[in-house]
Amino acid sequence: MDLKRVYLFREGNATMRDLLGGKGANLAEMSNIGLPVPPGFTITTETCNEYYATGKKLPAGLMDSARAAMKDVESQMGRSFGGATKPLLVSVRSGAKFSMPGMMDTVLNLGLNATTVKALIEETGNKRFVYDSYRRLIMMLSDVAFDLSKHEFDNEIFATYKQKVGAKTDLDLNADQMEEISQLFLAHVRERTGHEFPSDPFEQMAVAIEAVFKSWNNDRAIVYRRTEKIPDEIGTAVNIQAMVFGNAGDDCGTGVAFTRDPSTGEKLIYGEYLMNAQGEDVVAGVRTPVPITELEKQNPKVFAAFMDTANKLEKHYRDMQDLEFTIEHDKLFMLQCRSGKRTGPAAVRIAVEMVAEGLIKKEEALQRVTGSHLDQLLHPRIDPSSLGKAKQLAKGLAASPGSAVGQVVFDADTADLAKHGKLSPNGSVAIGKKVILVRDETNPDDVHGMLASQAVLTARGGKTSHAAVVARGFGIPCVAGAETLSVNVHDRKFSVDGQVIKEGDVITVDGSTGAVYLGELPLIEPEVSGAFGELMAWADSYRTMKVRANADNPRDARQAVEFGAEGIGLCRTEHMFFEAERLPLVQEMILTKDEKVRQNMLDKLQVVQQQDFEGIFEAMDGRPVTVRLIDPPLHEFLPSFEQLVRETTEIQTRIHMGQKDLEKELEAKMKLLGEVESMKEQNPMLGMRGVRLSIILPGLVIMQTRAILQAAAALIKKKQKVYPEIMIPLVSTVNELRVVQNQLEAEAQKIVKEQGVEIPYMFGTMIELPRAALTAGEIAEYAQFFSFGTNDLTQTTFGYSRDDAEGKFLQRYVEQKILSRNPFETIDVAGVGRLMRIAVEEGRAARNGLKCGICGEHGGDPESIDFCQQINLDYVSCSPFRVPIARLAAAQAALRSKVAVTLDK
Ligand code: ADP
Ligand code: MG
Ligand code: MG
């Protein structure tokens, strides 16, 4: 049998999106449920792929099939394509599986030529309408097929003509003027292309079909697919459909509508229409469209028919619909329906209300809301209606979600002063309480300033730069790596594209998109409505994995609990060392050669660490807390080598010029420089850190273990439950774990004895090196739990340094499809995922019921969470602000795995 390339609408249905595209499948479905849809047919997406596979040629036989289908349409309409009486006109419309609004091409009014124009004028007696349709055909087909921009027709010829005759809009033009414009358009085609505009209707059709296929690969469409993660190889279908006319008089019109408000989710009809207009006039801004509710007054009968159809469609598809319709002489026709795009708040409200209305089940409601929908709900966002007029200054990486407005400041101290309502130190500008910290990049010295700011903006650094990681941890919006910014801290200004922004000037930052705007844009506060709470409760009732949060301080811990966290999956202890009063103690502890001095410093640190842990345990109120022992290389706590070199050189110069009193200072600095130099590493990421550090310098982790367990004991004595899980990082062989864990276990037992209370502690390890995953069976003999550190595990499995990769080649890799996606955002299932699966299976084989979780950033990524469900992890852990997203994603993963199980049977 011949390959079937063409489906009449009555041969298709809504499930055939792959083959017929979304538009084609829904046109078929609407026809079949008896709605008023002009007849037509769909050329399959496979035909588009065939077109590209055979070197961009319309497959032989395609036009024969199209002619045969047209016979059917002609007889349904009682008209003939190209006929000298009762001519039939059609539209040729693109339509891929996923909607790509405005990305591909559509041509209306095909079939018009000298003969049919005449016939149609005779038939309708409406010459203006016929030439209005003709000029649109010439413009649209030439635009898509002959590379003549629509704007040349619309903005130049048409606009000039309107001006000449004094017409404000197209409505002011009469029949003869429309005819003249059509002639001008035809002449323009002749002049620019050297050939006549095609008059044969089937030639017009073939040209239009090919243009739609080509539009699949225009630049706009390619970029759109990349951002929306739509595959390139699925192709577009082409829909050919009898025309109905919204431009045939004042009892005609065209419009678009949503069955619910797409920005709030409220149940009301929402849309716009224009009388005596065609196609995209409503959205193109040629005239100001009228709210759909006006139609009720203007034409109650049509409005009632429309509402009836809208309700039918919403019930039929059981989702909010986005509709396109046309009115021809008071009769309604449906031209498109699809699930409407909606904001986060609308998605949640619609899903929950549809359950209440009995339209969908809870399971479905959960599947309809995405992580990015919730993300919008949990952070302030820029009022979308203000973006049109906003002036974008720069675009960086969307490093931490949410939007903020504030005055620019250039250093952490100024930010901190501003928070307390004080003037900037140089007093030159008045700074209010809301500031945005702008820096080349941030470092640990800036943390207090970041905390005092509404948002952080950096000119350099990736999504894992210090600024990004810290901002995400604190839930502060951050745009990182806005490379067009040139920051001048000394003169307290930054410039971008020749524009200068001074300290105190106001900017708006959108950490969800990476955009930076000049001035203050209105923000919409997050609305954690009743619907949100309801949806989250449903999510919790379906999910099987637990959700924990990564939190390093009591504030974050409380936030996490508020968002529904069931424990802490990662508490990083080193952040606590960076605080201003502690850093000198840490530095001295690292630098001293004297064991007594070191112990003294450790004792002092222990007191403050114990307070930290008491705060966190208290905030977590009986939920388990995984505390990771010190992980980064020690030189991160010392001044940088480069800075010390600069400083010593400067002092030397000044001594040389006679400032002899500086010699003592030089000596001290030189000593420090020598020590820092001796600790310098070629590859700190692979160097002296994690468990390796604990083996060389055991005092530090012994101190931390004491701080953790004494804090636990203190709370237990106050009758609070505490479940500390002490985690040893960066283990690659069981022997490392054995040495350190034995030592710490001995200490732990000592503490339990001293305190005289039972402490339900555990020791476990992070699985973040390939060797650890591959020898998980051995490791599990010691470790009582595993936590996958997928950031490091991804780095070491690929052999990429994340910052270097994201800054240099990763994007190219994704564009060239060497990698299907950034493995630091979504777990690489084939490689990293395989290691995780092995580790879980072999770990649990060695230790029954071994608790396994994930604490890398992937723990907040819905697709990665789905994988975690597949390998039976006990929990995922993510930043506090992603906890609701993880709860939802875990429910979705559980539902999917349940479906998979029932299907298997
Ligand atoms: P897009 O995918 O960009 O929305 P469409 O194929 O939906 O493009 O076409 C845009 C508009 O053109 C439709 O909303 C409708 O108003 C008009 N249109 C398309 N086909 C017809 C038709 N057969 N009769 C009347 N109007 C049509
Ligand atoms: Mg459309
Ligand atoms: Mg790590």
**Gyration radius of the chain's alpha carbons:** 33
Q: Which helix (H) or strand (E) holds 124?
A: helix 114-124
Instruction: Based on the residue annotation, tell me whether 329 is a catalytic residue of this protein.
Output: no
Q: Nearest residue CA, atom 20 of ligand 1?
A: 91
- Alpha-carbon dihedral sign for residues 762, 767, 771, 777: positive
- Neighbouring CB atoms inside 10 A of 61's CB total 12
The pLDDT value given to residue 99? 84
Instruction: Pick the closest to residue 891 from 366, 519, 467 (CA basis).
Output: 366
Quote the CA–CA distance of 485 and 481 in Å, as a whole number.
9
Instruction: Pick the closest to residue 213 from 151, 149, 144, 279 (CA basis).
Output: 144
Residue 377 Cα, ligand 2 centroid: separation in angstroms? 29
Please list the residues that pair with 277 across neighbouring strands: none
Reported as a single tens digit per residue, the pLDDT across 356-404 is: 999 999 999 999 999 988 987 888 889 988 988 899 999 998 888 889 9
Q: Which helix (H) or strand (E) holds 291?
A: strand 290-291
Quote the CA–CA distance of 644 and 553 in Å, as a whole number.
31
Q: Are 865 and 884 in contact (CB under 8 A)?
A: no
Quote the CA–CA distance of 870 and 754 in Å, as a whole number.
44
Q: Nearest residue CA, atom 26 of ligand 1?
A: 279
Quote the CA–CA distance of 116 and 85 in Å, as a whole number.
7
Kindly tell me if the per-residue pLDDT of 345 is higher than 70: yes
Give the number of the atom of ligand 1 that is nearest the alpha carbon of residue 241.
23
Give the number of the atom of ligand 1 that is nearest the alpha carbon of residue 103.
3
The pLDDT value given to residue 424? 60
Band (pLDDT 50/70/90 cuts) for residue 299 is: very high
Supply 851's token pair. 């608790």
Give the number of the atom of ligand 1 that is nearest the alpha carbon of residue 93.
6
Q: Are 819 and 810 in contact (CB under 8 A)?
A: yes
Kindly tell me if the per-residue pLDDT of 901 is higher than 60: no
Please list the residues that pair with 568 across neighbouring strands: 549, 625
Of 188, 379, 466, 858, which is the active-site residue?
466
Reported as a single tens digit per residue, the pLDDT across 812-852 is: 898 888 999 899 999 999 999 999 999 999 999 999 999 99
Q: Nearest residue CA, atom 10 of ligand 1?
A: 279
Reported as a single tens digit per residue, the pLDDT across 564-595 is: 999 999 999 987 888 878 888 999 998 888 99
Of 48, 855, 868, 878, which is the active-site residue?
855
In 460-581, alpha helices (H): 466-474, 530-542, 554-562
Instruction: Based on the residue annotation, tell me whether 151 is a catalytic residue of this protein.
Output: no
Does any ligand 1 atom lie closer than 6 A to the CB of residue 279? yes
Residue 96 Cα, ligand 2 centroid: separation in angstroms? 12
Q: Nearest residue CA, atom 15 of ligand 1?
A: 279
Q: Nearest residue CA, atom 6 of ligand 1?
A: 93
Reported as a single tens digit per residue, the pLDDT across 67-125 is: 999 999 999 999 999 999 999 999 999 999 998 877 788 899 999 999 999 999 999 99
Kindly tell me if the per-residue pLDDT of 872 is higher than 90: yes
Does any ligand 1 atom lie closer than 6 A to the CB of residue 399? no
**Quick one: which ligand is closest to 277's CA?**
1
Residues near 480 by beta carbon (within 8 Å), at least 6 away in sequence:
396, 397, 399, 456, 457, 458, 460, 461, 462, 463, 465, 467, 468
Q: Could you tell me the strand order of the sheet in which 253-258 lies?
A: 290-291, 270-275, 253-258, 321-328, 331-339
Residues near 357 by beta carbon (within 8 Å), at least 6 away in sequence:
none
Band (pLDDT 50/70/90 cuts) for residue 464 is: low
Residue 793 Cα, ligand 3 centroid: separation in angstroms? 8
Q: Nearest residue CA, atom 13 of ligand 1?
A: 279
**Quick one: which ligand is closest to 21's CA?**
1
Q: Nearest residue CA, atom 22 of ligand 1?
A: 243
Instruction: Pick the closest to residue 62 from 81, 38, 40, 42 (CA basis).
Output: 42
Residue 863 Cα, ligand 3 centroid: separation in angstroms? 21
Write down the mean pLDDT value for the chain.
92
Residue 782 Cα, ligand 3 centroid: separation in angstroms? 19
Residue 100 Cα, ligand 2 centroid: separation in angstroms? 10
Does any ligand 1 atom lie closer than 6 A to the CB of residue 92? no
Helices and strands per DSSP (H, E), number in the chain: 36, 33
Q: Nearest residue CA, atom 16 of ligand 1?
A: 279
Pocket test for ligand 1, best of 326, 329, 332 (most atoms within 8 A of CB): 326
Q: What are phi and psi of 10, to 5 degrees?
A: -75, -10
Residue 93 Cα, ligand 2 centroid: separation in angstroms? 8
Q: How far is CA 581 from the centre of its chain?
A: 38
The pocket of ion ligand 3, defined by CB under 5 A, consists of 768, 789, 792
- Alpha-carbon dihedral sign for residues 162, 166, 172, 175: negative
Give pTM, 2 decimals. Answer: 0.82
**Quick one: which ligand is closest to 572's CA?**
3
Does any ligand 1 atom lie closer than 6 A to the CB of residue 138? no
The pLDDT value given to residue 905? 38
Query: Percentage of the chain surpassing pLDDT 70?
Result: 97
DSSP state of 41: E
Instruction: Pick the closest to residue 382 from 261, 516, 559 (CA basis).
Output: 516
Instruction: Pick the closest to residue 731 from 701, 697, 699, 776 (CA basis).
Output: 776
Mean of pLDDT values over 52-70: 96
